[in-house]
Amino acid sequence: MRDGFLPFSPPCLDEDEIAEVSESLRSGWITTGPKCRAFEAALAARLGSPAALAVNSCTAALHTALAVLGVGPGDEVITSALTFCSTVSVIEHVGATPVLVDVEPDTLNLDPAAVAAAVSERTRVLLPVHYGGHPCDMDALWAVARKHDLAVLEDAAHALPARYRGRWIGQGDNPVAFSFYATKNVTTGEGGMLTGAPEFIDEARIASLHGMSRDAWRRHAKGGSWYYEVVMPGFKYNLPDVLAAIGLAQLRKLDRMQARRREVVAAYTAALADLPLRLPVQRPECESAWHLYSVRLLPEAPVGRDEFVQRLAAANIGTSVHFIPIHYHPYYREKYGWQPGAFPVTEEAYRGLVSLPLHGGLATEGLERIVEAAVQAIGAK
Ligand SMILES: *Cc1c(COP(=O)(O)O)cnc(C)c1O
């Protein structure tokens, strides 16, 4: 095992998840039902969220939230140039126009000054992404939102659990979307959660399941009625109980997994400090969820990012890159005519950007191997 492959972010699963899933399968109710409700309640309790809705992806949560906000053609949504494609594709799905802005050099989060400059008559929503699990500068973003009467929808795919000025991301009344994709801090294989004000979440629940005024669990459970009404052309975004079961077990071990993430982060930061790398930071008013440990090879490093990734792969170490800037993708480049140079901080970061393995199950032996390999990969020309 000494030289075995060290994956970038494997899920931390054990008998607890298996027992929860077995219970769900044996119960005879495998789609949205009691496990989902328990998962929603557990996440809302963990974060102090006013209400929560389980869905089958973060992308679904974002799309549902934009639909419930009533965002549509003619509207603009401001988001980060350095994010996963689905943050932006959901804006396209509702027929609105994405307005990309650049990020701040230390956190790689939405730059509030750039956001303020990008606001127009048509802006409806700010869609900040908590990059790597580090909260955005929410006070500055809310100041812009309040001034122009904009909604704030947070992409918190990386930010479970993260705190900004002592409050959890997902604790407020505004909509916040989480991801339980296989690589995320908490996983259900595929899954997501939308938190927010109770009335908003009630509407989102209807929108996420065919626009039906009553969900299947309440119709098909004992005492339920066959009758329902369709009040809007809704989506099919509900989370099955079999997957919510995995999430319930994951939430119970979240603190343990986070503690290990912080140990790994501290070890990386100590071991890599003298290399030609820009390391991730944590601002004093923030507590990062440490979803990613993304380093940036500095221009003076003797090796480029692609070669660095290849050398780590040759040493049997998985890495990833978060993210290819949105305006580099052909669809967006061609549709909006964004040119290279449009978002200089994003582009400069991307040139050297690479995420090292970071997960709640990373053992010290593996960690030492990664550090050793990283030092070697940078050192030699
Ligand atoms: C993973 C991710 C998403 C999408 O999450 P899914 O649950 O796979 O839909 C959205 N935004 C960011 C920043 C992500 O990393």
Residue 222 falls in the annotated catalytic set: no
- Computed over every residue of the chain, the mean pLDDT equals 96
300 and 206 in a common domain: no
Ligand 1 atom closest to 83 (CA): 13
Query: Does position 142 have pLDDT exceeding 50, yes or no?
Result: yes
Residue 369 DSSP one-character state: H
Boundaries of domain holding 99: 15-252
- Could you tell me the CATH number of the domain that includes residue 230? 3.40.640.10
Cα–Cα distance measured from residue 219 to residue 32, given in angstroms and rounded to the nearest whole number: 12
Cα–Cα distance measured from residue 188 to residue 61, given in angstroms and rounded to the nearest whole number: 15
User: pLDDT class for 380, splitting at 50, 70, 90?
Assistant: low
pLDDT at 126: 99
Cα 26 to middle of ligand 1, angstroms: 31
269 and 239 in a common domain: no
Pocket-testing residue among 181, 246, 322, 323, ligand 1, by greatest number of atoms within 8 A of Cβ = 181
Please report which helix (H) or strand (E) contains residue 101, including its range.
strand 97-101
Residue 7 belongs to some domain of the structure: no
Helix (H, G, I), strand (E, B) or coil at 184: coil
What's phi and psi for 365, nearest 5 deg? -60, -45
- Could you tell me the CATH number of the domain that includes residue 308? 3.90.1150.10
State the catalytic residue, choosing from 35, 184, 236, 335. 184
Where is the domain boundary, 234, 252, 270? Answer: 252
With a Cβ cut-off of 6 Å, ligand 1 is lined by: 57-59, 83-84, 86-87, 129, 155, 157-158, 179, 181, 192
Reported as a single tens digit per residue, the pLDDT across 265-322 is 999 999 999 999 999 999 999 999 999 999 999 999 999 999 999 999 999 999 999 9
pTM score above 0.85: yes
Reported as a single tens digit per residue, the pLDDT across 214-264 is 766 677 777 778 888 999 999 999 999 999 999 999 999 999 999 999 999
Residue 253: count of CB within 10 angstroms of its CB: 16
Counting the structural domains of the chain, the total is: 2
Q: What is the mean pLDDT of residues 185-211?
A: 97
Q: In this structure, which residue's CA is closest to atom 5 in ligand 1?
A: 58
Q: What is the mean pLDDT of residues 32-42?
A: 98
Q: Which amino acid is at 78?
A: I
User: pLDDT class for 381, splitting at 50, 70, 90?
Assistant: very low
Q: 225, 219 in Cβ contact below 8 A?
A: yes
Cα 86 to middle of ligand 1, angstroms: 7
Cα–Cα distance measured from residue 50 to residue 198, given in angstroms and rounded to the nearest whole number: 6
Ligand 1 atom closest to 192 (CA): 7
371 and 281 in a common domain: yes
Of 151, 148, 138, the C-alpha closest to 71 is: 151
Cα–Cα distance measured from residue 208 to residue 210, given in angstroms and rounded to the nearest whole number: 6
User: Tokens 């699963």 correspond to what residue?
Assistant: 13
365 and 291 in a common domain: yes
